[in-house]
Structure 1
Amino acid sequence: MKTKAKTKAAFRRRQRGSVSIFVAVSLIALLGILGLAVDSGFGYMIKARLDAATDGAVIAAGEAVTRGNNQTEQTNNAQQAATAFFAANYPAGFLGSSVSAGTPSIVFNAGTVTIGMTAQASVPVTFSKVLGFNVLNVSSSSQAIRKTLDMVFVIDNTKSLNTSGVPAAVRSNAVAFLNNFDVTNDRVALMHFAYGTVVDVPFKGNTRGFDRATMTTDINKYTFDGSTNSPEALWNARNQLNTVITQPSSLRVIVFFSDGAPNSFSSFFTTNQSKCNNISTTLASGDGPSGSASGLFSINALSQKLASPCYQNDTSGFVTAMPKWYNAHNVNEQTFPIWPVTSPRVVSNGNATYVNVNRVSRNLLEAMAAAARAEGTYVFTLGYGNELTKPAGPDNELGQDVLKCMANTADSLSRCYNPKQPVGVYCYAATPADLKPCFSQLASQILRISK
């Protein structure tokens, strides 16, 4: 009996020892699992912060790469911007980690700029040490590709802008706007308009880059005089994009600045003077609530009256007929109808009256903008001054509605908005001080869609 009791007691001691070993092993495993969960959580937070920092850094580099007069300067600016952004958004010692970031890579290739950046972070583990781990390493890699850009910059130089402080604000902010774009890869054309359109700096064919210095000089020489022949300006913008460039970029943009709705247009007009009939000229309707048309003006100068007898203050009886189609650059062109049309504004005959000239100019502008968008071009518009918010013209329209229709904004008139076409941006500047944020907004939007 004693022997059996001793055997049972020994068995129970061995059993208790086995349970203790099992519990100890289980505790180690549980601690390891707990440590892995805790340390993995830290690693996830570090990885998320690292990803955000590198993503933001390449975006910042994409914006900074436009600054500089050559690729060396642009590369330095982009790398500095990326490094600064990364340092500001991944604080030293974040969650006890140490981090190292590689030098951002900037690759220029046929107009496209590819920006890449990698970074690594390591953090000492705590609980996971029981599983043999001492350091947790995480890494991140980000890339941004900046699309090629073809942009036409169109600036209104009409007389209504020639008021205190406005010309200087237009010049300075237009120059600053150009500083947002890449002089070695982006293609930019510049033009200004009033009665006619002057192409200051055309595209250089398919050659990449643009001459910002010459454009700055031209803008600073701008004077402001004449009436608003917006259709002629937009025709020239489309012509630059569609014929001067034969290998278009992945992003095409027209930026159109104006302080009013159009009231003039160009074509071959029939007059009672034979010597005035075989030239393309501009007919203007003025800005008043009623009246008569005036003309004829040159189509390739800011404000240039033709020599007598081809200029009349009142063209009643002088211009005997408007053409049925817009034909300012090709007498046989039949793309944009002038009359008869019933939409969006009725023009039932070819009489060169104030009402007809005003309606034709607005119809043509909206039609040309729609044609540009149908070709995949974004149209961005910037409107200046309170005249845009007041009813004007024979149909008491708001000038800003025309600019919104051009841009195809979601808040434009229902007859204009087409969600199947590129949706642009309209920005309204009520005062000269508002021009700077408006130009900045347009630049930011263009750079955003170029990524």
Structure 2
Amino acid sequence: MKKIAAYTARQRGSISVIVAVSLIALIGIVGLAVDSGLGYMIKARLDAATDGAVIAAGEAVTRGNNQTQQTANAQQAATAFFAANYPVGFLGSTVTAGTPSIVFNAGTVTIGMTAQASVPVTFMQTLGFRILNVSASSQAIRKTLDMAFVIDTTGSLNVSGVPAAVRANAIAFLNNFDVTNDRVALMHFAYGTVVDVPFNGNTRGFNRTLMTTDINSYTFGGSTNSAEAVWNARNQLNTVITQPSSLRVIVFFSDGAPNSFASYFTTNQSRCNNTPATLASPDTAGTMTGLYNMNALSQALSSPCYQSNATRLVTAMPKWYNAHNVNEQIFPIWPVTTPRAVPNGNITYVNVNRASRNLLEAMAAQARIEGTYVFTLGYGPELVQQEGPDNELGSDVLKCMANTPDSLARCYNPAQPVGVYCYAATPNDLKPCFTQLASQILRISK
């Protein structure tokens, strides 16, 4: 019996040792799970804070007149965002954030940021660990940008308070872009298009001060020759720049559908046949006027190449848009059946109005085929009222230009760049619309 009791005691002692060892291991496993979970939460918060910081820096890097100012603004924005999104002492951790790196290289801006957090462990101390270190690094690359900015300055915008709102918000819109790396061309249009500030060849950057001066000097008057404006935007992107950026954009602001277009017209005055110019139709049935200088805002040609009733002068429309090359055959005028039928070259209200709209949509579609995003901003009540020979909405034309998913079924092509259309019903709505377009452009540039 004594032998059995002694054996039993030894067995109990062995079990106690096994239990003690197992308990230590169990505590270590539980500690590993608890402290690892804590580390995971810190890691997730650290990743989110650095990701947001480099994005904030990417937006702030556009501010400043030189790379030194831009670097300072970007680093300040990144640091402020990180501090706001990783609270001091989060889950008992101590964090160290590195200085954000801002690297400019041939128009591309690469932004990087690293951070490390340390937190004391509890249960894992049984395994010999005292501190858990967690690190994160994030990088954002801002693509190079080529943007043609087109502003409608037609007479329908010459309403109290509207010109001032257009000027102020167009200038504010430009402040979103990088004056040392982004390339921007500025133009405005009515009967014709004036390229205020063209691209400077392949040189990066743009002159925001000069553009601000030009926009502040805009006057508003004349008819809506939108196609000529888009032709000039494409020309700036395709020919002035020979080394395109990774992102190309046309931003088009207007308050109505087009009713005018430019070409070489056949007239009963031989001297007028050799001058490309603009022919205008009214928004409602009436007589055409023209011809107008296609390189000026609102300038009738000298006699005899201008008539208040242009049917006394112009005898036929060309079959192709040829305002810049009499032999160009890219955009048909007549005979066409879609999207609006123009069966012949007769100078009628229906034909001229339809041709103006067909040309605008065709030129925007060609820009998208070339890989250019088209963003449109529409202003005012005329856009949501039926007008023209087919009782169309101007907003539908602008949606078709931008290739938005809610555009007319005949327009939307998901295989092409999908842009954005924003409608501003009042002058106060211009600011959020311009802000939305800028945000979308900056989003796809990252």
TM tier, smaller = over 0.9
Q: Is the counterpart of residue 344 in structure 1 residue 335 in structure 2?
A: no
What is aligned with 2:402? Answer: 407
What is aligned with 2:312? Answer: 317
What is aligned with 1:373? Answer: 368
Instruction: After TM superposition, give the deviation of residue 6 of structure 1 in Å.
Output: 2.4
What is the RMSD computed on CA atoms of the aligned residues?
A: 0.5
Q: Give the AA of the match of 1:276.
A: C
Q: Give the AA of the match of 1:37.
A: A
Instruction: After TM superposition, give the deviation of residue 13 of structure 1 in Å.
Output: 1.1
Q: Is the counterpart of residue 182 in structure 1 residue 178 in structure 2?
A: yes
Aligned counterpart for 2:71 among listed residues 75, 85, 94 = 75
What is aligned with 2:350? Answer: 355
Instruction: After TM superposition, give the deviation of residue 309 of structure 1 in Å.
Output: 1.1
Q: Is the counterpart of residue 421 in structure 1 residue 419 in structure 2?
A: no
Q: Deviations over 1:57-79 (max 9, x none)?
A: 00000000000000000000000
Q: Is the counterpart of residue 253 in structure 1 residue 252 in structure 2?
A: no
Q: Deviations over 1:283-314 (max 9, x none)?
A: 00022x20111100000000000111111011
Instruction: After TM superposition, give the deviation of residue 7 of structure 1 in Å.
Output: 2.2
Instruction: After TM superposition, give the deviation of residue 260 of structure 1 in Å.
Output: 0.2
Q: Give the AA of the match of 1:418.
A: N
Q: Is the counterpart of residue 93 in structure 1 residue 93 in structure 2?
A: no
Q: Pairwise mapping of residues 50-449 of structure 1 onto structure 2 (< 5 A)?
A: 50-287=46-283, 289-449=284-444
The DSSP-based 3-state class of the residue aligned with 1:119 is strand
- Percent identical pairs in the alignment equals 82
| Distance in structure 2 (CA, Å) of the matches to 1:59 and 1:150 | 20
| Contact 2:396/2:408, CA 8 A, preserved across alignment | yes
The DSSP-based 3-state class of the residue aligned with 1:277 is helix
Instruction: After TM superposition, give the deviation of residue 11 of structure 1 in Å.
Output: 1.4
Instruction: After TM superposition, give the deviation of residue 274 of structure 1 in Å.
Output: 1.0
The DSSP-based 3-state class of the residue aligned with 2:354 is helix
What is aligned with 1:49? Answer: 45
TM-score of the superposed pair, with normalisation by structure 1: 0.98
| Distance in structure 1 (CA, Å) of the matches to 2:189 and 2:312 | 27
**Superposed structure 1 runs of 4+ greater than 4 Å apart:** none
| Distance in structure 2 (CA, Å) of the matches to 1:129 and 1:75 | 43
Deviates more, 1:316-325 or 1:102-111: 316-325
The DSSP-based 3-state class of the residue aligned with 1:313 is coil
| Distance in structure 2 (CA, Å) of the matches to 1:330 and 1:82 | 50
The DSSP-based 3-state class of the residue aligned with 2:44 is helix
Q: Deviations over 1:210-241 (max 9, x none)?
A: 00000000000000000000000000000000
The DSSP-based 3-state class of the residue aligned with 2:82 is helix
Instruction: After TM superposition, give the deviation of residue 18 of structure 1 in Å.
Output: 0.4
Name structure 2 gaps, 5 residues minimum. none
Instruction: After TM superposition, give the deviation of residue 39 of structure 1 in Å.
Output: 0.4
Q: Give the AA of the match of 2:320.
A: W
Q: Deviations over 1:74-121 (max 9, x none)?
A: 000000000000000000000000000000000000000000000000
What is aligned with 2:18? Answer: 22
The DSSP-based 3-state class of the residue aligned with 1:137 is strand
| Distance in structure 2 (CA, Å) of the matches to 1:286 and 1:150 | 34
| Distance in structure 1 (CA, Å) of the matches to 2:7 and 2:180 | 87
The DSSP-based 3-state class of the residue aligned with 1:255 is strand
| Distance in structure 1 (CA, Å) of the matches to 2:340 and 2:313 | 24
| Contact 2:306/2:313, CA 8 A, preserved across alignment | no
Instruction: After TM superposition, give the deviation of residue 44 of structure 1 in Å.
Output: 0.3
Q: Give the AA of the match of 1:40.
A: S
Instruction: After TM superposition, give the deviation of residue 316 of structure 1 in Å.
Output: 1.6
Instruction: After TM superposition, give the deviation of residue 150 of structure 1 in Å.
Output: 0.2
Instruction: After TM superposition, give the deviation of residue 338 of structure 1 in Å.
Output: 0.4
The DSSP-based 3-state class of the residue aligned with 1:121 is strand
| Distance in structure 2 (CA, Å) of the matches to 1:22 and 1:91 | 44
Instruction: After TM superposition, give the deviation of residue 8 of structure 1 in Å.
Output: 2.0
Instruction: After TM superposition, give the deviation of residue 317 of structure 1 in Å.
Output: 3.4
Instruction: After TM superposition, give the deviation of residue 10 of structure 1 in Å.
Output: 1.5
The DSSP-based 3-state class of the residue aligned with 1:106 is strand
Name structure 1 gaps, 5 residues minimum. none
Count matched residues. Answer: 446
Aligned counterpart for 2:33 among listed residues 21, 33, 37 = 37
Instruction: After TM superposition, give the deviation of residue 353 of structure 1 in Å.
Output: 1.1
| Distance in structure 2 (CA, Å) of the matches to 1:56 and 1:98 | 19
